[in-house]
Amino acid sequence: MTPQLTVDEQMEILRRGTLEIVPEDELREKLVKSQKTGVPLRLKLGLDPTAPDIHIGHAVVLRKLRQFQDIGHEVVILIGDFTARIGDPSGRSVTRPLLSSEEIEANARTYADQYCRILDADKTKVLFNSEWLGKLDFADVIRVSAKVTVARVLERDDFANRLSDGRPIGLHEILYPVCQAYDSVALKSDVELGGMDQKFNILMGRDLQRESGQEPQVAMFMPILVGLDGVQKMSKSLGNYVGITEAPNEMFGKLMSIPDDLMPQYFELCTDVPMNEIEDIVYGLSNGKLHPMNIKKRLAREIVAIYHSEESAMEAQLEFEKVFSSGELPTDIPVCNIPTDIMKDGKIWAPKLLTFTGTASSNSDARRLIEQGAVSIDGERISDAGSDITIADGQVLRVGKLKFVKLQIN
């Protein structure tokens, strides 16, 4: 992109949205040195070999890496296939299922397809930590472990808490941070990015690099994006996410459903809107000069445009307004064939229509929806769950706010 930004300008870009840079002056020094020598910095991002669906929460870190790439630096995506066997003790205590090497490879490929939408593929490398961790023998493990003291490991919040609560800590879990730290040594990374939950592990990398005679990496901590519900972190399993491969209309709709007070955060972390403009927006919202809905539309447009295009973002907005503001039918309605043999005399039992079209999961579910007034055909509400209803070719069945099906009778 723009090759010759001053280091100050670079720092300003890189600081955006980050929680903490440890230590900040070392990052500056590294940037200065890199600019002088022309040797790019090596950025490390460790990823789990699971979770192949990247959402805009993951994208926060990936976009930060992209900023580094645009300045000229290179990124190493480190797939933790070896460490996955241990299970990161950070936060969750759920043991992860072991993955076969085929699965890991398949996941890594899916990852690659997706992160290319954000990262510059020419400046990105993917490595697996089994490559070096798998080669260590027991003596090596002891030698590396010897560089870390128990007190140092136990400083970590999670371990300290577990110890005082009398909850168990596996001996192997103590080695997890050591493994991750060793990755940094093996990669000779200059900067490692991660969430605050990675703080301990990433800082451990600094220690081990120093012990190994390397210049320690700088740690950059990125915030965890809050999900669409406005409460929990964005994650696929909670269903409160926007996937970066989702269609424009879906993205737009999902983004419009976030609580208002999430908007500033989303602007900062998920868009390229300049910070001073975001400040103006926040101010305008607080004094009532700006309407939250319009701002949210802008936000949704900005994000959709990143992963698709400005045109499709605009179209998504028009579609959204059409369906939700004007209450009109969406442009694309899935068609469902209704075979005549499940009908009699042009009629069909109402719950059957819902289960057949997949708009209800069971007759009981369908009955409920009908009784609650969620079901209509061509805008006319169906209210009797026991009744046979007359349907005609081309009619549109609507269930709830979001489900539409065009009936095709043959």
Interface residues with RNA (CB under 7 A) are: 166-168, 229-231, 256-260, 292-293, 296-297, 324-325, 349, 351-352, 355, 361-365, 367-369, 372-374, 386, 388, 399-403
Q: For residues 331 and 364, which CB has a smaller minimum distance to RNA in the complex? A: 364
Select from 152, 168, 150 the least CA-distant residue to 93: 168
CA dihedral 241, 246, 252, 254 (to 10 degrees): -30
Measure the CA–CA gap between 284 and 280, rounded to whole angstroms. 6
* Shortest separation between residue 344's beta carbon and RNA, angstroms: 8
**What's the closest the beta carbon of residue 262 comes to RNA, in angstroms?**
9
Spatial CA neighbour of 230 closest among 265, 198, 281, 197: 265
By beta-carbon proximity to RNA, the closer residue of 79 and 389 is 389
Q: Which is nearer to RNA, 145 or 363 (CB)?
A: 363
By beta-carbon proximity to RNA, the closer residue of 132 and 324 is 324
CA-based nearest residue to 370, from 347, 358, 354, 357: 354
Nearer to RNA, 42 or 298 (CB): 298
Q: CA-CA distance, 102 to 27, in Å (whole number)?
A: 38
Q: Can you tell me which residue has the tokens 């057949």?
A: 356
Least CB distance from residue 361 to RNA, whole Å?
6
Smallest separation (angstroms) from RNA to the CB of 219: 31
Closest among 229, 251, 250, 231 to 240, alpha carbons compared? 229
Residue of 326, 325, 319, 328 whose CA lies nearest to 396: 328
Specify the DSSP element, H or E, that contains 154.
helix 150-155
Q: Which is nearer to RNA, 38 or 166 (CB)?
A: 166
Q: Minimal distance in Å, beta carbon 369 to RNA?
A: 6
Shortest separation between residue 153's beta carbon and RNA, angstroms = 19
Name the DSSP class of 228.
Answer: T
